């Protein structure tokens, strides 16, 4: 059977999945019952092989994907293979008999075309490895890895190990100061504190024999606590010059492809470490696993460029004033750094979590793997097929490609059966029939735009599965995004639990949490809009749809602090209409009116970044988070206006009366404005001020001042 141009191969897995071939064929638009195999991976494998002449094959089984891929390769087939799980995610459940709408949704999503490719980020590693840490362990691992990698060692203590008898690799000593970079481009800086330079040392043992205190061992480092400073070692070293107690330059810097950090406290303390850097701690097993991974990172590699950044609408800063720092706060890899009034995203360090895009209020940072248009198309395909098959109150269960996927597979596998020896007495229930798994690269990428778009496309609720995140910034960001979404849909009258975050790390805990969730009713009409790559556009489309079908329509909704929508409160008594706030606004929310001193504002454009408030010299602006719905939110409104002040010389308006009067009042007592002409000049426009200075006979010039003796 063909589905979106792909040939579908469906299997009931030895009859353990309840599949209604006739009903499923009608839902998928086949016009006839869908052929359902029972043992596609075994006795009926010939049915798969006979379909290999087709250009695109969709197989509803992920467990045997390696087998099917091997069969296709053996047949020399050029067919493009795709796989989707309907067993653990749908059929294996206490509600498996009611799971046909979910199965239709999963198949509809799997049949969609592959998203467009994104630019790649390249790495090149030739295997230059630095092993740093206490001498005994660092030298041991350096020796082990020297046969396969281009090893160097940095010993961070003295007396804990002996240098090898043969100089197979460089050995330095010192205190590490910093590690920066990524796979193939690490830079390590350290300070050499011991008088013996191991690069110059010939290991001739002359210093060892000469030291009467025995302060020098076979690590060729001086124990400064035992040294009496008689400098006999310096004399013994002689022309070699490896020992210098007054070395002028102690800082050193080298570049490496890989770093094995065996320090007690890792130099990089980030939730997600860059590829090519490992800090396994003191556990020998963890050290061995880290060494194994690093040894495999030799060659050329690439990964997607996960994010796109448009600095024009970035609200990080303007003219040295700080605004939004949300992406900096949530990034777990240190890939985002402040760069003047904007931020800089180092693609080599980015791990693709998408947390920056989720919290960005303006959409200056967007996540591209996959992008919101792809996610939106998948939402619409899944929810459309689900509704067409008679499904109700769909819950989109968002999970990642690793820990979340494994947890769902474990949950489905245990459906109907308990642990070994328990049988059906402690049988699992699997996933509820209305919970539709929705895979993303990382759940941190789920933001307000996705949450609201999912409801607009027909979901009753969205549940995010976040195993292993703990108390990270990701969890705080996800909860905040859900808090904003809850405030909006709750105010519009959509009752029930619409958004949930489950942090379960074990399938039993996940099962209990999922089945305990309140089942919310669907919102009604499904939206037809296509999600946009522009975050604010997607938000606007989703909000308009939700507001149009709201049980309790509102034109204004109060939002929690930090929300990406809101208005401004301007203190008209202190505001001088200097318009500095207009120049600071990166979103075009504050507007000028050149012919008059008027401050205008478009509420829908405001992202509540705070740049206007931080820029205002009079502290006259306050942020008021709220959501204004309807066409009024897109129309300019006047926040403040004042009587213009006309130039006392030519009559041209050039400022506000309040600003000029305040300025002359403050400067009137200053000695530079003691004369009436100077103070009056402040009441002139820029052109007249210059003319007045040039024509005034009372204006002092340089020739009026004599040279002091």
pLDDT-derived band at 470 (thresholds 50, 70, 90) equals low
Beta carbons of 452 and 488 less than 8 angstroms apart: yes
In this prediction, residues 430-456 reach a mean pLDDT of 96
CA angle 248, 254, 257 (to 5 degrees): 170
* Rounded Cα distance, 133 and 130, in Å: 10
Q: Which residues touch 511 (CB under 8 Å, ≥6 apart)? A: 411, 414, 428, 429, 430
The separation between CA 339 and the C-alpha centre of its own chain, rounded to angstroms, equals: 17
Query: Is-contact 200 241, C-beta < 8 A?
Result: yes
pLDDT at res. 709: 44
Give 703's pLDDT tier (boundaries 50, 70, 90): low
Torsions phi, psi for 320 (to 5 deg): 80, -5
Residue 308 and residue 360 in contact, taking contact as beta carbons nearer than 8 Å: no
What are the pLDDT digits (tens) for 400-419? 999 999 999 999 998 876 55
* Residue tagged 């395909």 (tokens): 381
Beta bridge partners of 500: 463
Strand pairing category for 435-439 and 395-399: parallel
Mean pLDDT throughout 1-26? 85
DSSP H/E element including 345 = strand 342-345
CATH of domain 123-301: 3.50.50
Q: Which two tokens stand for residue 440?
A: 């993303």
Q: What is the mean pLDDT of residues 470-479?
A: 87
pLDDT at 422: 57
- Indicate if the pLDDT at residue 289 is higher than 50: yes
Tokens 């034109």, residue located: 555
**Distance between CA atoms of residues 651 and 247, nearest Å:** 73
How many CB atoms within 10 Å of residue 117?
7
The answer for residues whose C-beta is within 8 angstroms of residue 117's C-beta and 6 or more apart is none
pLDDT of residue 90: 94
Mean pLDDT of 556-573: 96
Q: pLDDT by residue (tens digit) across 33-89?
A: 889 999 999 999 999 999 999 999 999 999 999 999 999 999 999 999 999 999 999
Radius of gyration from C-alpha coordinates of the chain: 34
Looking at residues 127-144, what average pLDDT do you find?
A: 94
Task: Report the range of poorest mean pLDDT among 425-429, 574-578, 604-608.
Answer: 425-429
Specify the pLDDT at position 420: 53
Kindly give, in sequence order, each residue whose CB lies less than 8 Å from that of residue 195, ignoring residues fewer than 6 positions away: 222, 243, 244, 245, 247
| Secondary structure (3-state) at 570 | strand
pLDDT tens digits for 645-666?
888 889 888 777 777 887 887 7
Torsion angle, alpha carbons of 665, 666, 668, 673, to 10? -130
For residue 123, the 8-state DSSP code is E
Class of domain 566-641: alpha beta
Where are the chain's structural domains?
Answer: 2-83, 123-301, 305-367, 372-548, 566-641, 647-704
Q: Partners of 622 in the beta sheet? A: 569
Question: In sequence order, what are the residues at sequence separation of 6 or more whose Cβ sits closer than 8 angstroms to the Cβ of residue 696?
Answer: 677
Please give the mean pLDDT across all residues of the chain.
Answer: 91
Task: Report CA 325 to chain centroid distance, whole Å.
Answer: 13
pLDDT in tens, 518-532: 999 988 889 999 999
Coil, helix or strand at residue 130: strand
Q: Name the pTM for this structure.
A: 0.88
Cα distance between residue 83 and residue 65, in whole Å = 7
Q: Which two tokens stand for residue 364?
A: 């200056």
The reported pLDDT for the residue numbered 683 is: 87
Q: What is the pLDDT of residues 481-519, one digit of tens each?
A: 999 999 999 999 999 999 999 999 999 999 999 999 999
Q: What is the pLDDT of residues 300-348, one digit of tens each?
A: 999 999 999 999 999 999 999 999 999 999 999 999 999 999 999 999 9
Same fold, 123-301 and 305-367: no
* CA 220 from centroid of its chain's CA atoms: 46
> How high is the pLDDT of residue 681?
84
The structure tokens 């920056």 sit at: 356
> Which class is 305-367 in CATH?
alpha beta
Under the banding of pLDDT at 50, 70 and 90, the label for residue 704 is: low
Percent of the chain with pLDDT over 70: 96
- Give residues with Cβ within 8 angstroms of 538, minimum separation 6: 372, 376, 449, 453, 531, 532
**Token code pair at residue 35:** 């052929």
Confidence bin at 24 (pLDDT 50/70/90): confident
Q: In this model, does residue 701 exceed pLDDT 80?
A: no
Q: Please, which pLDDT band fits residue 581 given cuts at 50, 70 and 90?
A: very high
Q: Which residues, including other chains, have CB under 8 Å from residue 417's CB and lie 6 or more apart?
A: 423, 424, 427, 428
- Give 3-state DSSP helix, strand, coil % of the chain, rounded to 5: 30, 20, 45
Residue 225: the pLDDT is: 86
- Which residues does residue 624 pair with via DSSP β-bridges, in sequence order? 567
Residue 255, SS3?
A: strand
Give dist(CA 85, CA 405) in Å, integer: 11
- Burial string for 335-358 (b: 16+ CB within 10 Å, else e) reads bbeeeebbbebbbbbbbbbbbbbb
Q: What is the pLDDT of residue 625?
A: 97
Contact 472, 544 (CB under 8 A): no
Q: What is the pLDDT of residue 189?
A: 96
Q: Is the pLDDT of residue 444 over 60?
A: yes
């Amino acid at each position: 059977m063909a589905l979106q141009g792909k040939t579908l191969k469906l299997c009931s897995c030895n009859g353990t999945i309840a599949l209604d071939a006739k009903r499923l064929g009608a839902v998928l638009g086949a016009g006839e019952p869908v052929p359902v195999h029972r043992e596609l991976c075994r006795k009926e494998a010939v049915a798969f092989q006979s379909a290999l002449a087709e250009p695109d094959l969709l197989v509803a089984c992920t467990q045997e994907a390696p087998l099917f891929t091997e069969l296709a390769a053996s047949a020399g087939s050029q067919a493009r293979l795709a796989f989707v799980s309907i067993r653990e995610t749908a059929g294996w459940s206490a509600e498996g008999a009611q799971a046909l709408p979910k199965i239709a949704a999963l198949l509809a999503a799997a049949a969609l075309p592959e998203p467009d490719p994104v630019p790649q980020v390249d790495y090149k590693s030739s295997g230059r490895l630095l092993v740093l840490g206490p001498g005994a362990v660092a030298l041991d691992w350096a020796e082990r890895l020297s046969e396969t990698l281009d090893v160097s060692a940095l010993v961070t203590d003295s007396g804990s190990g002996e240098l090898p008898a043969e100089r197979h690799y460089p050995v330095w000593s010192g205190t590490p100061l910093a590690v920066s970079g990524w796979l193939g481009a690490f830079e390590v800086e350290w300070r050499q504190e011991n008088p013996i330079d191991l690069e110059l040392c010939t290991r001739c043992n002359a210093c060892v024999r000469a030291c009467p205190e025995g302060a020098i061992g076979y690590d060729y480092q001086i124990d400064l606590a035992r040294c009496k400073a008689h400098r006999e070692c310096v004399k013994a070293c002689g022309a070699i010059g490896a020992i210098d107690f007054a070395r002028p330059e102690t800082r050193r810097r080298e570049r490496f492809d890989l770093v094995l950090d065996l320090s007690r406290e890792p130099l990089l303390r980030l939730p997600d470490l860059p590829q090519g850097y490992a800090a396994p701690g003191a556990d020998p097993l963890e050290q061995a696993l880290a060494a194994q991974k690093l040894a495999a990172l030799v060659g050329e590699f690439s990964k997607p460029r996960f994010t796109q950044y448009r600095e024009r609408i970035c609200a990080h800063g303007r003219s040295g004033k700080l605004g939004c720092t949300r992406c900096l706060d949530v990034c777990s890899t240190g890939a985002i750094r402040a760069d003047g009034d904007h931020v800089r995203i180092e693609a080599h360090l980015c791990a693709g979590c998408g947390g920056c895009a989720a919290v960005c209020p303006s959409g200056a940072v967007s996540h591209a793997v996959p992008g919101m248009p792809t996610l939106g198309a998948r939402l619409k395909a899944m929810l459309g097929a689900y509704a067409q098959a008679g499904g109700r109150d769909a819950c989109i269960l968002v999970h990642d490609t690793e820990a979340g996927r494994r947890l769902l597979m474990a949950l489905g596998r245990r459906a109907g059966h308990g642990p070994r020896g328990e049988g059906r007495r402690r049988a699992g229930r699997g996933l509820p029939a209305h919970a539709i798994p929705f895979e993303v690269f990382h759940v941190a990428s789920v933001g307000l735009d996705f949450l609201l778009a999912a409801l607009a496309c027909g979901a009753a609720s969205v549940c995010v599965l976040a195993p292993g995140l703990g108390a990270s910034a990701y969890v705080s960001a996800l909860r905040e995004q859900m808090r904003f979404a809850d405030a909006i849909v709750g105010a519009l009258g959509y009752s029930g639990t619409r958004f949930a975050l489950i942090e379960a790390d074990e399938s039993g805990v996940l099962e209990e949490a999922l089945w305990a969730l309140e089942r919310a009713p669907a919102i009604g009409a499904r939206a037809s809009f296509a999600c946009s790559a522009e975050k604010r556009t997607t938000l606007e489309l989703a909000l308009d749809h939700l507001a149009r079908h709201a049980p309790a329509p509102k034109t204004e909704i109060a939002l929690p602090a930090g929300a990406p929508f809101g208005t401004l409160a301007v203190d008209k008594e202190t505001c001088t209409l200097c318009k500095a706030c207009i120049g600071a606004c990166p979103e075009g929310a504050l507007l000028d009116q050149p012919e008059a001193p008027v401050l205008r504002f478009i509420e829908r454009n405001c992202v509540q970044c705070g740049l206007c408030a931080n820029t205002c010299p009079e502290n006259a602006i306050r942020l008021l988070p709220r959501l204004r719905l309807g066409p009024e939110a897109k129309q300019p409104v006047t926040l403040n206006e004042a009587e213009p002040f006309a130039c006392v010389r030519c009559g041209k308006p050039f400022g506000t009366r309040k600003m000029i009067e305040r300025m002359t009042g403050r400067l009137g007592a200053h000695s530079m404005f003691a004369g009436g002409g100077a103070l009056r000049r402040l009441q002139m426009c820029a052109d007249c001020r210059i003319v007045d200075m040039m024509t005034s006979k009372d204006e002092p010039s340089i020739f009026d001042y004599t040279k002091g003796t």
